[in-house]
A and B are shown apart, each in its own frame.
Chain A
Amino acid sequence: MKNILYTAIAIGFCLGLGKLVNFYFTGLPSSLYGMIFYCLLLQLSWLNPEKISQANYWVIKNMGVCFVPAAVGVINHFDLLKHHGFTIVLSIFFTTFVLLTFVGLAAERYLTDPDEHSN
């Protein structure tokens, strides 16, 4: 219970800082500034990672439910999907495989250690 409260306060504090930065400098969404602050405070050992890990894992495991209200908005786009659904899916497939190819080939060329092969 103590650790849940600790994690909630830590996340709330970082989100508050993020909102402050977003208010004065805009740029990134406040939650992303908050994420960077959270990582920074952990790296500086101002936050205890052991106290945070369990509640944080629970938050990440269940965060999918927060996307549902936005995703249900697809209900307003049946016409678009009826007319362009195939094009949209094809475009997503194509660009995903372009990215896979680029990162895969470039990383194989520039980042591979000779003794680090999967086979």
Chain B
Amino acid sequence: MLIDYFNAFPYTTSDIISSLSLSLLTLLLYQGAAWLQQKCQFIWLNPMLLTIVFLVPFLLYSQIDYQSYRQATQFIHALLEPATVALGFPLYQQIKTIKRHWQQLISLLALGVIIVITLSFVATMLLIHQTDIAIALSLKSVTTPIGIALTEQLSGDSSITPFAIIIAGFSGALLGPSWLRLLNVHSKIATGLAIGAASHVIGSIILTKQNASMGAYSSVALILSAVLTAFMAPLLIPLLIALFT
């Protein structure tokens, strides 16, 4: 019986060792990158970005294809679900601010979500003509776990989503405040909401360092935008896909 069980088990010892080594390598690289960022206090040293920058050449050099890597690290990917649930805590912490302005906040951010999804989807379809990439790019203004979960649910290419999210994060966070001042937007609430809606967590971190109050508004916008995107994207994106097919 025991022998039958081991024969039926789909993984060999070398599969298990390779899976453990790749998972361990990913975790160690990430921890190393996080340590480096903490030491240097430089936002561009994003731990996720650095880990990918080191991992991709390593996989290419070792001739490990993506499918094998993905299978080997599936337990890390599976942790994404509980990690997303944990975002309910910051949402709870911002409930008071949301309650105070809920009508204006929801209508403004919902309109923002519709604009950014539609514009990104249409632009990508017109320029690249690939639906899976258009879905991934249209979900770039939300925080990564929600962006990935929605991209996978809507059959988009979830490998493009994190990159798009990082670019949106850094561009808005670093150039956004100057851009908003140029537009004569000076209030803390408007600056915070705009950066949070467009540049999610990265924007929030950078803004919090400059001004705690702006950072708080920014986290309200990033959480509300994520929730609104989660509700609206599954309705809006199929409509946009139908428009192009």
Contact = CB atoms under 8 A, between A and B. Distances in A.
A111 to B, nearest CB: 5
Interface residues of A, number: 72
Given A35-B88, A37-B88, A49-B89, A75 B186 contact: no
B123 interface: yes
A47 to B, nearest CB: 9
A37 B83 CA distance: 14
A59 B30 contact: no
A68 B185 contact: no
A42 interface: yes
A105 B150 CA distance: 28
Interface in A13-43: 14-15, 18, 27-32, 34-39, 42-43
B80 A96 contact: no
A1 interface: no
Nearest to A114: B187
Contacts of B34: 62, 64
Contact of A70 (B124, B158, B180, B188): B158
Interface in B50-93: 51-52, 55-56, 59-60, 66, 69-70, 73-74, 76-77, 79-92
A99 B108 contact: no
A55 B86 CA distance: 9
Contacts of B149: 29, 31-32
A34 B185 CA distance: 36
Contact of B188 (A69, A102, A116): A116
B82 A111 contact: no
Contacts of B123: 91, 94-95
B119 interface: yes
Contact of A68 (B76, B119, B124, B189): B76
A65 B51 CA distance: 9
B169 to A, nearest CB: 9
A36 B88 contact: yes
A77 interface: yes
Contact of B141 (A12, A88, A96): A96
Given A69-B76, A71-B163, 8 more contacts: A31-B81, A49-B89, A84-B127, A88-B128, A93-B167, A107-B185, A108-B186, A111-B190
Interface of B: 26-27, 30, 34, 46-48, 51-52, 55-56, 59-60, 66, 69-70, 73-74, 76-77, 79-92, 95, 101, 104-105, 108-109, 111-112, 115-116, 119-120, 123-124, 127-128, 130, 133, 137, 140-141, 144-146, 148-150, 152-153, 157-164, 167-168, 171-172, 176, 179-180, 183-191, 193-195, 197-199, 211, 214, 221, 227, 230-231, 234
Interface of A: 11-12, 14-15, 18, 27-32, 34-39, 42-43, 49, 52-53, 56, 59-60, 62-77, 80, 84, 87-89, 91-108, 110-113, 116-119
